[in-house]
Amino acid sequence: MQIYWTPIQQVVQEARDTYTFKLELPEGFTWEEGAHTHFALEGFNQEDKPNRSLIRHMSISTLPHEGAIGITTRVKSECSTFKSILRDMNIGDKVAIFKTHSNVPLKREGKNVYLLSSGVGISTFRPLVLSYLANGEGVPHLRSVNVESSQEYLFSDVFKATDAFTAEFVDSRRAYHEAVETLAADKDGLYYVVGSDDFLRETIATLRERGIAREQIVLDKHDFQLDDFLN
């Protein structure tokens, strides 16, 4: 397993308590849209066993051509040890990334694609939207619905409508589920879902009740975890 130690280049505040940590691109490091990585802090591999309190799964919110690995996350005043260490890090400090993989690349199968997310989960989808806006081949229409109760919607510069892309932001779970019920009228679409496990279960239930097959639902989970959510 290759571990890349790479410095923080820049920290961009996206909304209240929400930051994108832009990491320098190590030579030879690349990824597909929808990728997640293991993001770890100094000391995580100093003992026999990795110290899990210093490792988190994180999606990469950028594409390689942007010249940085973007990690977007919330750091609230009450937070884990991991987030409090991250908050105090400086530009130039190194973090580790390893085991990078995309379970949710954009499927270009001639079907409409729906990106359903809650909160900072929209970060996973930012690279899919950029990829689609650069090349719409194989996806007749792309539509995103994000629920964010704070109304501080993320990445509104990318998530704005074009002829073939619709971006919707809502501020309540009720409005979100109403939107999903409407979208689920497309019995042939592909439904990508990113958010907390509860959010996934609720969204999957709404989709399945409306006749969407499990093969049409795309989650950022390993194959062995999918049954737990989709059965």
Return residues touching ligand FAD (CB under 6 A): 36, 56-59, 72-74, 76, 78-80, 82-83, 120, 123, 220
Query: Under DSSP, is residue 59 helix (H, G, I), strand (E, B) or coil?
Result: strand
> How would you classify the pairing of strands 217-219 and 190-194?
parallel
Q: How far is the CB of 73 from ligand FAD (least distance, A)?
A: 3
Q: Output 81 or 182, the one with its CB closest to ligand FAD.
A: 81
| Apex 96 CA angle, 6 and 45, nearest 5 | 140
Q: How far is the CB of 166 from ligand FAD (least distance, A)?
A: 23
Q: Within 33-101, where are the H helices?
A: 81-87
Asked if residues 100 and 60 have their Cβ atoms less than 8 Å apart, the reply is: yes
Q: Output 4 or 39, the one with its CB closest to ligand FAD.
A: 39
Q: Output 11 or 79, the one with its CB closest to ligand FAD.
A: 79
Q: How far is the CB of 54 from ligand FAD (least distance, A)?
A: 10
Terminal C-alpha separation, the chain:
32
Q: How far is the CB of 60 from ligand FAD (least distance, A)?
A: 8
Q: Output 53 or 162, the one with its CB closest to ligand FAD.
A: 53
Q: Output 83 or 141, the one with its CB closest to ligand FAD.
A: 83
Q: Output 126 or 143, the one with its CB closest to ligand FAD.
A: 126
Q: How far is the CB of 141 from ligand FAD (least distance, A)?
A: 25
Q: How far is the CB of 74 from ligand FAD (least distance, A)?
A: 6
Note every long-range contact of 135-139, with CB atoms under 8 Å and residues 24 or more positions apart, other chains counting.
Answer: 136/164, 137/108, 138/107, 138/108, 138/109, 138/110, 139/106, 139/107, 139/108, 139/110, 139/111, 139/112, 139/113, 139/164
d(CA 51, CA 58) in angstroms, rounded, equals 16
